[in-house]
A = this chain, B = another copy of it.
Amino acid sequence: MNHFFKVKSLEEVMERIKDFSSVESETIPVFEAFSRILAEDLIAKKDLPGFRRATMDGYAVAASSTFGASESNPAWLDIAGTLSMGDIPEFTLEAGKAAGISTGGMLPKGADSVVMVEHTELIDEKSVEIYKSVAPLQNVIDASEDFAENETVLPKGTYIRPQEEGLAAGLGFSEIRVYKRPKVGIISTGDEIVPIEEEPLPGKIRDINSYTLSGFIKEAQAEPVCYGIVKDDPAALKRALEKALEETDMVLISGGSSVGTRDFTIEAISSLPDTEILAHGMSISPGKPTIFARAGKKPVWGLPGQVVSAMVVLKIVVIPFLNQLKGLDNRDRTIRVPAILSRNVASAQGRREFIRVLLERQADRMIAKPVLGKSGLIRTMIHADGLLEIGDHVEGLEKDTLVHIILL
């Protein structure tokens, strides 16, 4: 192999995110938009709610008709009518008059506020006493107060939560343009790996990584495509890689924890046209043997075979690239929960370390307890709620330090 052995820092790898473009977009019914990413600015075609609307049950009034009203000196207003939900009020409310209205109802012309029913007393069919004055626009939402016509309500790149889906629906977008869900190819490699349906002989182990990795890909709202297990054979790996690159937007080669296999991965990637090895090793722990390459316009990752390392690298390094492919805006959404470290933690300088921790709620604070056990045990990831990141130039952290945990 004639490649340069280039170990990169996490920052150096992250800088390459902008070299990759988002996948194509598609138009889908808004009912299916939850968890997708907007591929165009959403612009209000009309005002929302579109009319002056009551936010309380009570009486629509011109605020000025209530000025000075109090318990001891109520305002006495004539009832001009009672509005039902969904009614279009056909009259104009004059000063000194009130109209019964329900929450959500449309105010008549001339009315600019609503007196809560609790602050009124009905005297007879025709008149009501008001015990508390209201200010203009009190207890109403004005026609364009939520969103105004032509306003950009959601920018391109927005992740669609339930409220964004509801807003799009409320603005009348029955279909919206979103990015497609990226497809991520997963190739498992290694002579020691057997399909999970097989009873492994001594020395062999079932293919765990295809399952953990596809779980994380699904969690990131993308689509995993598994290409099975490839033996330690550069030609077979090349064929699987070519197929995966043709059919998906990013490829993960999992395995290659032994030096030989790592070379096969580099060899297979390099044998394809227009490829570039961007990192051969990363100064993070776990995850040092990670390979990062570009094949045409697509990222290709050689992930460590060790199950815990593969998960950490996927979560910390690969998912941000997947977010770029998904078209997500670049706001950092990684949730970090502040917590107090339960014990001293040692760390080596010159690399970024990620320590598995358990989070425990204690009265008004969270405690982060490092999960003990060898780093190769999947058990440690089962017991962990999150990862503690320790900087490249930190020798360790002391008990009771305030830390910020990345949730798993």
The answer on a CB contact under 8 Å between A102 and B259 is yes
Q: Contacts of A377 on B, CB cut-off 8 Å?
A: 141, 145-146
A102 in complex: contacting residue of B167, B260, B378, CB < 8 Å: B260
A118 lies within 8 A of chain B by Cβ: no
Binding site for B on A (CB under 8 A): 30-31, 34-35, 48-51, 53, 55, 57, 84-89, 102-106, 141, 145-147, 153-154, 160-174, 190-193, 196-197, 199-216, 218-219, 226, 232, 257-261, 305-307, 311, 332, 335-338, 361, 364-366, 374-379, 381-382, 402, 404, 407-408
- 8 more contacts with CB within 8 A, not counting A34-B215, A103-B306, A169-B196, are A85-B191, A86-B190, A86-B203, A146-B378, A154-B382, A166-B212, A172-B197, A338-B364
User: In the complex, what distance in Å separates the CA atom of A196 from the CA atom of B165?
Assistant: 12
A219 in complex: contacting residue of B34, B153, B375, CB < 8 Å: B34
The answer on a CB contact under 8 Å between B102 and A203 is no
User: In the complex, what distance in Å separates the CA atom of A202 from the CA atom of B163?
Assistant: 23
With contacts A170-B208, A215-B165 known, is A146 near B379, CB below 8 A? Answer: yes
The answer on a CB contact under 8 Å between A213 and B162 is yes
User: Most chain-B CB neighbours within 10 Å: which of A163, A219, A232?
Assistant: A163
* A-B pairs with lowest CB-CB distance, top 8: A162-B215, A166-B212, A102-B258, A86-B192, A106-B203, A86-B191, A169-B211, A163-B381
The answer on a CB contact under 8 Å between A167 and B382 is yes
User: In the complex, what distance in Å separates the CA atom of A404 from the CA atom of B382?
Assistant: 25
With contacts A162-B216, A166-B211 known, is A232 near B141, CB below 8 A? Answer: no
Q: Contacts of A204 on B, CB cut-off 8 Å?
A: 86
6 A-B residue pairings within 8 Å (CB atoms): A104-B306, A161-B408, A162-B215, A162-B218, A169-B206, A335-B407
The answer on a CB contact under 8 Å between A374 and B205 is no
